[in-house]
Amino acid sequence: MWPVTFTHAWALWLGTAAVLPLIIHFFSRQRPRVVRFPGVQFIQKSRRRSFRRTRFKHLLLLLLRMSLIVLFAFLIARPVLRRGDAAAEAGAEGTPAAVLILDDSLSMTFRAGGLTPFDTARNRALELLAQMPAGVAAGAMSTSHPRGKLMQDLDALAGRITGMRPTTGSNSCWMALEAAADMLAQKGASRRDVFLFTDMTRSAWLGSEYRHVEMGPGVRVHVVDCSTGGVNGAVCQLLYEGEPAVVGAALGLKAQVVASGGPMTRTVQFEFDGRVMDRRGVDLEAGSRETLSFSAVLSGSGHHWGRVSFLNPDGLAHDDSRTFTLDVSPEVSVLCVEDQPELGLESVSYFLRLALNPWGEGGRGVFRIERAGPAKLDELSLGPFDVVVLAGAGRMSETGWRRLAAYVSGGGGLLVFLGPETGDAYRGDGALGLLPAQVGPVVVAAAGSPFGLRIIKADHPFVAGLTASEAGLAGIRYRQCRQLRPGEDGVELMSFGPDYPALVVGGAGDRVAVFAGTADERWGNFPSTPAFVPFCHEMVMYLAGRTAAGIRSFPVAAQVPIMFETSRWPTVVYVTSPGAKQRERLLPGTTPGRQTYWKTDSPGYYRVDFERRDAQWQGGFAVNTVAIESFLEPVAFEQVRDRIGAGQVTLVNEASFAEGEMGGGGGPGELTPYLALVALGLLLAECFLANRFYKPAAAPSQAPE
């Protein structure tokens, strides 16, 4: 069954005008006057035959004219023949429905010439609305705000489209298509169409390999390509590969730049805390990328920010720079305890101190080292130190162990290297209550078979950091070591062999580590191998509670938490957006010590100022665009078409309400062209018959006298 629906069903009432020719016919008839005249019977007989023929001609013309009026009413109503599932999907007496979707992601703002792709999309959408006849139910939405409703006020809809602006976030088209399908499903429409205006980039169809949207068999999706082409360069990624973020460390940064749409030549600049640190030139082919390395010395603790950017912006300026923030900790303070702290090169802790700070006194090292004897633990304040290292400290007292236990319970770290000096002093109650392993006798390796160091627990944070440093343990050899028996809270991380733990971590807060070998070369070659430096760095950093360095940034449109310490005085928070001349004061939040800032539509550095009655300080956060927005290469339409379940999915360059563009508007189910041909034929027939029937008869010729 192929039911017929009408675009403008109200126009069918115009067909009632077909009775007008009939009324005019009856009211315009002339009644003949009867005159009695003898000898006219032959004339009356001939008149009756002529009257029948004339009445048939008039009746035929009357029917033709009435049919023409009915056909014109049908033409105005625009009948549509619904076929198969499409007929069942659409309402029998509904109006046409269309949803217009504008892709407003960052890539739509690329300016290659006078207009951006979003300007083109908005202009074409407005032109499409101007073509729509009255009575069409239409809706409009953007991909960043996929919601709306169908309305017949096309002027209001045009105003909404005019007010749309592109965003800097990454917004794919899938959610907007799903919302459009829901809108059309709620409307009993004679036909349903979706017009999607996009530049067909990867950000527009993010996740197309895994997505699928079902629009319905009666829906036609018209993807309008608004791409303009052009070359775009972007700083798409920043990676931190330097030392831990501690004062004196080296900031190592890798910036990845990419070219899209064609080759480019750019100058890349690295800034740190607003100061230009380095500039590099880069030449890229189309679709290629390059990684640039930058470095700087972290000379001060606290909050820092940096940026890698192009000196010459291109058509998509938002991705020409990438900003980051970094919180730098003060240097790590280490107290090295040994029996003879006055010794120099002959000291047991020499290799340890050299590994932690090769620059010595006054250098820029991450670690600040002080030395003391075991007796000093009874009177020395341990609060200023992050980690205490016992290296060759055999003269430990019970008071010293109690002081260390209190220090560790307060958050300090303790690293113990066991050697020939560590005897009975490490087996007392104080040592047993603090160390995560019981210290046993010295174990000597078999001749020609020294102990090797191997990893037992690879997922531990310290071991993971050591592995990331690419430190190799294969060449480490120990001739002898101390026997360790891990306690209940002890975790064996490294081993010298079966039943010979080499490194055990545990204690209060997992802040105590015991190594079964010496910190010098008396028992093995570990201190002279390349692995000893990262071992000491990672272990001291772990015990000090300093995590690996990490630069931070947020994607655009993200809600950024702003944290601060609370006190009895209220804290006022101000945020200065990129390029803003005035700072914005935030209203007090409901959670003490926490604010949330959500106006992050512009990429860049956001400065945060904190003011309190007793203090003032500064912070900030970085906001960057999503990297996928920078790739302007188009997605293959076939890849998208196969993921959209609809009656028809087409890729067009122009959106139009003309025949063939909209479902039922001129396709195989549109009856208007055929009715127009029939009406034309009837009109020609009416003209021909009228001229033929009402042709004046020729005047009879007079007979000669």
Mean residue pLDDT of the chain comes to 84
CATH architecture of 343-543: 3-Layer(aba) Sandwich (3.40)
Please say whether the structural domain 554-621 has been given the CATH code 2.60.40.
yes
Name the residue with tokens 């690295």: 270
Which of the two residues, 185 and 586, has the higher pLDDT score?
586
Q: Which tokens in the block code for residue 98?
A: 């269309």
Fold agreement (343-543, 554-621): no
CATH class of 85-229+632-652: alpha beta
Q: How far is CA 578 from CA 308, 582, 606, 620, 623, in A?
A: 15, 10, 6, 11, 10
Tens of pLDDT, residues 618-637 = 999 999 998 888 888 888 99
**Mean pLDDT over residues 90-109, rounded?**
79
What's the CA gap between 389 and 349, in Å, rounded?
A: 9
Strands 289-297 and 79-81, sheet pairing: unpaired
Residue 622 has what pLDDT? 97
Judge whether 577 and 622 are in contact, CB under 8 Å: no
Q: Is the pLDDT of residue 517 over 80?
A: yes
Are the C-beta atoms of residues 174 and 135 closer than 8 Å to each other? no
Residue 580 has pLDDT above 70, yes or no: yes
Residue 282 amino acid letter: V
Domain boundaries along the sequence of the chain? 4-31+39-83+671-693, 85-229+632-652, 343-543, 554-621
- Percentage with pLDDT > 90 across the chain: 49
SS3 at position 310 = strand
DSSP, residue by residue, 193-259: EEEEEE--BTTTTTTTTT--EEEEEEEEEEEEE------EEEEEEEEE-SS-SBTTPEEEEEEEEEE
Give the C-alpha separation, 675 to 76, whole Å: 11
Phi-psi region of 196 (alpha: psi -120 to 50; beta: other; left: phi over 0): beta
Radius of gyration of the chain (CA): 44
pLDDT of 2 strictly over 70 = no
Residues contacting residue 146 through CB under 8 Å, at least 6 positions apart: 101, 175, 176, 178, 179
CA 422/CA 380 separation, integer angstroms: 21
Phi then psi dihedrals of residue 247, to 5 deg: -55, 130
User: Could you tell me the pLDDT band of residue 292, with boundaries at 50, 70 and 90?
Assistant: very high
The answer on pLDDT for 613 being more than 50 is yes
Mean pLDDT of 302-318: 92
At 160-194, the pLDDT tens digits run 999 999 888 767 899 999 999 999 887 667 788 99
| Contact status, residue 232 vs residue 316, Cβ threshold 8 Å | yes
d(CA 553, CA 324): 5
pLDDT above 70 for 144:
yes
Q: What is the pLDDT of residues 238-265, one digit of tens each?
A: 998 867 788 888 889 999 999 988 898 9
Return the DSSP state at 187: S
Packed helices 532-543 and 461-468: angle between N→C axes, nearest 10 degrees: 140
Whether residue 502 has pLDDT greater than 50: yes
User: If pLDDT is split at 50, 70 and 90, which confidence band does 476 have?
Assistant: very high
| 11-20, 226-235, 664-673, 687-696: the lowest-pLDDT one | 664-673
Alpha-carbon separation of residue 199 from 315, 430, 630 (angstroms): 15, 72, 13
